[in-house]
Amino acid sequence: MLTSYTPGLTRGSAMTPESNLTGQHTARRHIEHFVADLDETPLQATDKVKEDSAPSSLWGEAWKNLRKQPLFIISAVMILAVVVVSLFPGLFSQIDPSSEACQLANSDGGPTSGHPLGFTQQGCDVYARVIFGTRSSVTVGLFTTIGVVLFGGVVGALAGYYGGWADALLARLTDIFFALPLILGAIVMMQLPVFRANRTVWTLVLILIVFGWPQIARITRGAVIEVRNADFVMAARSLGVSRFRSLLRHVLPNSLAPIIVVATISLGTFIVAESTLSFLGIGLPPSVMSWGNDIQAAQASLRSNPMPLLYPAIALSITVLSFIMLGDALRDALDPKARKR
């Protein structure tokens, strides 16, 4: 403990204000300050920063976090397997159901050599139809998602960034389409003569885009509104960057995180929509192999032979589940508020 001695004062003597100030000044003059050496403090290792390393971006941090998540690894492996099967079905089945006719002699037959999942009521190989039906279902889901993101993203970005009358007009248009259910709207549209006579994969993709874009538009609009008043956007505008160029170069790249998450989950939703419409008999024609058509054809023999319905249903469930799991993993990685520490 440091002590100080004030000269001129004795025990019992009265302390005047002037002497009090003199004593405080003298005591302040005798105070010593001790500073520990940097090598003796544990903060040296804690506060150490690698100055030569580049700062991590949002996508870099997200990828670093995703690699540690079992949910992302499992879903990515499942999606990769589905994509490979849809692109190269001949590698997994030596039987091409489109070129080889079904044999009624094998109707509702069980598993045999070369036919591990048995036969349908029409004598078709169940395994081959499940493998080759992957392409149609995945194609509808993938291209519908691409079209929805492009159209809905443009509408939401313009409405959220420019505001005013453009936001009011596009927001009301979005509300009108958002009030129409996806499946119900697709059922009504597919009953029109122009679409009923041309039931192809691309027809179904177009109709699902028409009724599926409002959700992406709303998500994009909210993300753009949140980013458009950020400091870096204001700095770009003050440097002379046009509004449209600022939207493309600064606002949209920083608004992609929620759009990617919703698009990933929506891809599984559109695959289910295709299977539902095909099951109802108004989606893809029976000549096109898809999981929905296989489920619809197998319901006639559900009680006597449920396996032809079970296997395409399992393939559909696994595919949709993998995209939902991937969306959940991306949400945790791209949203700092939802990221688990």
Residue ranges of domains in the chain, CATH in brackets = 137-341 (1.10.3720.10)
Q: What is the pLDDT of residue 197?
A: 84
Strand partners, 125: 119
Integer distance in angstroms from the first to the last C-alpha of the chain?
A: 45
Residue 176's nearest CA partner among 141, 226, 221, 210 is: 210
In the block, tokens 């313009």 appear at: 158
DSSP-assigned letters across all residues of 10-53: -TT----HHHHHHHHHHHHHT-------GGGSTHHHHT---TTS
Between vectors from CA 159 to CA 153 and to CA 165, what angle results, nearest 5°? 155
Looking at residue 100, the DSSP 8-state letter turns out to be: S
Q: What is the pLDDT of residue 55?
A: 55
What does the buried/exposed string (b/e) look like for 317-331 if buried means 16 or more CB atoms within 10 Å of the residue's CB? Answer: eebbebbbbbbbbbb
Q: What is the pLDDT of residue 202?
A: 92
Are the beta carbons of 284 and 271 closer than 8 angstroms?
no
Q: What is the pLDDT of residue 8?
A: 46
Q: What is the pLDDT of residue 220?
A: 92
Residue 291, CB-side half-sphere exposure with 13 Å CA sphere: 27
Kindly give the confidence (pLDDT) of every residue in the chain, 341 residues in length, as a single tens digit, with 9 standing for 90 and above. 444 444 444 444 444 555 554 555 555 555 565 565 656 555 555 555 555 555 566 677 778 888 888 888 999 999 999 999 999 998 998 888 876 678 888 888 888 888 888 888 888 889 999 999 999 999 999 999 999 999 999 999 999 998 888 889 988 898 888 888 899 999 999 988 888 888 889 999 999 999 999 999 999 999 999 888 888 888 888 888 888 888 888 888 888 888 999 999 999 999 999 999 999 988 898 888 899 999 998 888 888 888 889 999 999 999 999 999 998 888 888 765 555 44
Q: What is the pLDDT of residue 6?
A: 47
Pairwise CA distance, residues 265 & 273, whole Å: 13
Which residues 6+ apart lie within 8 Å of 112 measured at CB? 118
Q: What is the pLDDT of residue 205?
A: 94
Q: What are phi and psi of 285, to 5 degrees?
A: -70, 160
- Helices 164-178 and 126-162, interaxial angle, to 10°? 150
Torsion, CA 163, CA 165, CA 168, CA 173, rounded to 10: -110
Pairwise CA distance, residues 293 & 129, whole Å: 10
Are the beta carbons of 251 and 224 closer than 8 angstroms?
yes
3-state helix, strand, coil in the chain (%, to 5): 65, 0, 30
Question: pTM of the predicted model, to two decimals?
Answer: 0.79
